[in-house]
Structure 1
Amino acid sequence: MNDQTGRRRRPSKGDQREEAILASARTLLCERPMSKITVAQIAEGAGITAPTFYFYFATKTDVLVALLDQVAERVRDELSGWLESEDGTGAGAEEALRQALTTNAYLWAEQGALLREVFVCPDNDPRLASFRDRVSEHLITALGRRIERDREVGRALAGPPEAADLARTLVEMTFAVFSAASRRDDPALRDGRLVETLAAVVMRSVYGAAPRTGV
């Protein structure tokens, strides 16, 4: 962040403590679900007291949402390159799809425990449910519009009749595949094999042709 003089200001002690809390929670989530983690444990990992924790976050859910917001922003940024491209089957668009899937694979490899906490594990917390629905529906809507545009100009296959149905299936399938791979620490999540498989599934489902390799 820059100050009024244009110089980048140093993170304040508050900024550093907030990041320490998030880092502590992220580490603990690799070991057990949030329901098994206490505020005291998060605070200890951040090097602060429990009362200090509450100065920055009201609940554990606030910490979880803050972590998820960071991840969701990266997912949206990467996917926008392919979803908003005008050429669905060109080399540039295929590379954009691979890059988006590669970033997602990296995020699931590094933060699978956090992502599974929301997208896979059942949770009755309305804030987490709202976040999950918001992110999922954003991706489904954007992909559905992409498919509809490409169908209108004859690039995409004609069916299924509702583009949104195909989009939902592809988005939910991708979440499920990444989740399963992250849970078992599958090397394919990191070495590109899973990305190539998913890219082929998406391209064949939408356009009827596999993506070109080595683009």
Structure 2
Amino acid sequence: MTDASRRRRRDAPRKGDLREQAILDAAEEQLGTRSLDDVTVESLARAAGITRNALYFYFGSKRDVLTALVGRTVEEIADDAATTEADTAAEPRERIAQAVRNTERSWARHGVVMRAAVELGAVIPEVGARWAETVERYIAAMTEVLSGAGLPGTGPGSAADVARALCWMTERTLYHASAAGNDLSRASEVCIGIWHRMLP
């Protein structure tokens, strides 16, 4: 076996990883077409093309599946926050607009999972913690953006306080727009306008 073929074999996803992803994909698809209560271990296993017992090899319960699904989604959102942090060459107004549009894009792609994360956060501590960590990641990125724009570092109206309030405002505004089937781009433009008004 050549080095190249060994490397290809090592880089190829394992069968178990593919099955786990199929279960998570099935969960995301089902969240878009049925209520949370109607998503069952049986329905997930059937949609993933495996038996109920096989699903239990990867996840201990429906709750574990949903927790892993939220985890997969928030990793993508965290990557967007990292992009905002890294883009220090852009003007604050551009960075703010891009950050909100990235968030809008996540809601457009994964709205069913993100709504489930908001709604399950109070009853599944792991989901609530992952969701809060993700918002905190954006708060840290936006605090840096607002500090660079001239907001103070301490006291009322500090960059950190404003970033926290406006990140949660953006999260809740897009959540409601997604849940109601409203225009996400309009909701995000409203949020961008409010963020921009807070700049010195």
* TM-score, L = length of structure 1: 0.76
Amino acid at match of 2:66: L
Q: Which residue of 2 aligns with 1:49?
A: 51
Q: Which residue of 2 aligns with 1:21?
A: 23
The 5 Å alignment of 1:1-215 reads 5-7=6-8, 9-86=11-88, 90=91, 93-120=92-119, 123-147=122-146, 149-150=147-148, 155-158=149-152, 160-186=156-182, 188-189=183-184, 192-205=185-198, 207-208=199-200
Q: Counterpart of 1:28 in 2: which secondary structure?
A: helix
**Pair 5,174 (structure 1): closer, same or farther in 2 beyond 3 Å:** same
Aligned counterparts of 1:174 and 1:72: Cα–Cα separation in 2:
16
Aligned counterparts of 2:18 and 2:113: Cα–Cα separation in 1:
21
**Pair 38,172 (structure 1): closer, same or farther in 2 beyond 3 Å:** same
Q: Counterpart of 1:7 in 2: which secondary structure?
A: helix
Amino acid at match of 1:53: L
Moved more, 195-204 or 137-146: 137-146
Q: Counterpart of 2:7 in 1: which secondary structure?
A: coil
Alignment check: 8 A CA contact 2:151 2:158 kept: no
Aligned counterparts of 1:37 and 1:44: Cα–Cα separation in 2:
11
RMSD: 2.6
Q: Which residue of 2 aligns with 1:211?
A: none
Q: Shift of residue 87 of structure 1?
A: 5.4
Q: Shift of residue 59 of structure 1?
A: 2.1
Off by >6 Å, runs of 4+ in structure 1:
none
Q: Provide, for residues 91-142 of structure 1, a one-character-per-residue CA deviation record: whole Å limited to 9, x for no partner.
A: xx54443333223212212321211112245632221222222222232233
Structure 1 unaligned spans of 5+: 209-215
**Pair 41,6 (structure 1): closer, same or farther in 2 beyond 3 Å:** same
* TM-score, L = length of structure 2: 0.81
Q: Shift of residue 145 of structure 1?
A: 4.0
Moved more, 21-30 or 195-204: 195-204
**Pair 42,81 (structure 1): closer, same or farther in 2 beyond 3 Å:** same
Structure 2 unaligned spans of 5+: none
Aligned counterparts of 1:122 and 1:131: Cα–Cα separation in 2:
9
**Pair 5,47 (structure 1): closer, same or farther in 2 beyond 3 Å:** closer
**Pair 130,33 (structure 1): closer, same or farther in 2 beyond 3 Å:** farther
Matched-pair identity in %: 31
